[in-house]
Amino acid sequence: MSDVTYVRLLDLACGAFLLAAVLVLWRRDLAAIVRLFAIQGAALAALVAVLGVHEGLDGHGAELLALGAGLAVLRAVVLPRLLRRAIVGGDVRETEPLVNVAASLVVAAGLALLSYAVTRPVVALEPSPAVRAVPVALTVVLIGFFVLVTRRRALSQVVGFLLVDNGITAVAFLTTSGVPLIVELGVSLDVLLAVLVLQVLTARMRAAFGGTDLDDLRELRD
């Protein structure tokens, strides 16, 4: 792969990765939010695959390609399917978030500027194409935290948690050209377990209280 092609493919994967996170702030339909998370998972897998092809298939690159395939299965297929199974009944749309859509998009732009400012010293140390994309990954981490604190539905907050995890994973791959396979497998299994537990809790909340709007649940009294 030529350097020009590598940079273009890396930019394309990073752009899709960031755009999916921003669109999560725009959409209120939970099914659409889950689809965007699946697209982001595919973009993360593509990012890792591009790094693997650039490294070469004779060693470390093959391991990166294997990790990319695993990420595609877990984060673009398995986790979105589990999240879709949790969307039943009246919990199909996000209730009015604490911050409206227009303000959320402005905040996302501010978080992107903050990420570029914070990571400037890191990029200056090694201005390679991968390291220059670190601000994109950090922006996704911050957007994930923003979703966690501004959304009311439990499922939306789960997606926010997964956005944070995707962003952290992207930072690890961009700064180190990959993490050991056993480490990534351990982290992915932890994330899968957390989502399974959250799915069970969400189902029980819906069965007991009729919904998963956390503001409504705070108003419950004995």
pLDDT digits (tens, 9 = 90+) for 29-79: 888 999 999 999 999 999 999 988 888 766 677 788 888 888 898 889 988
Count the domains in the chain. Answer: 1
> At residue 126, what is the residue type?
E
Looking at the predicted structure, is the pLDDT value of residue 119 above 60?
A: yes
d(CA 121, CA 141): 18
| CA–CA dist 208, 203 (Å, integer) | 9
Per-residue confidence (pLDDT) for residue 163, from 0 to 100: 92
Predicted pLDDT of residue 64: 82
Using alpha carbons only, how large is the chain's radius of gyration in Å? 18
Query: For residue 38, which amino acid is it?
Result: A
CA distance to 27, 37, 174, per residue, from 94 (Å): 9, 15, 33
- Dihedral (CA of 54, 57, 62, 65) sign: positive
- The two most distant CA atoms of the chain are separated, in Å, by 66
Please tell me whether residue 48 adopts helix, strand or coil conformation: helix
Higher pLDDT, 78 or 222: 78
The confidence score (pLDDT) of residue 222 equals 46
Which residue range is the domain that position 212 belongs to? 3-218
Greater model confidence, 146 or 188 = 146
Write down the pLDDT at residue 62.
79
pLDDT band at 146 (very low <50, low <70, confident <90, very high): very high
CA 45 from chain centre, in angstroms, equals: 11
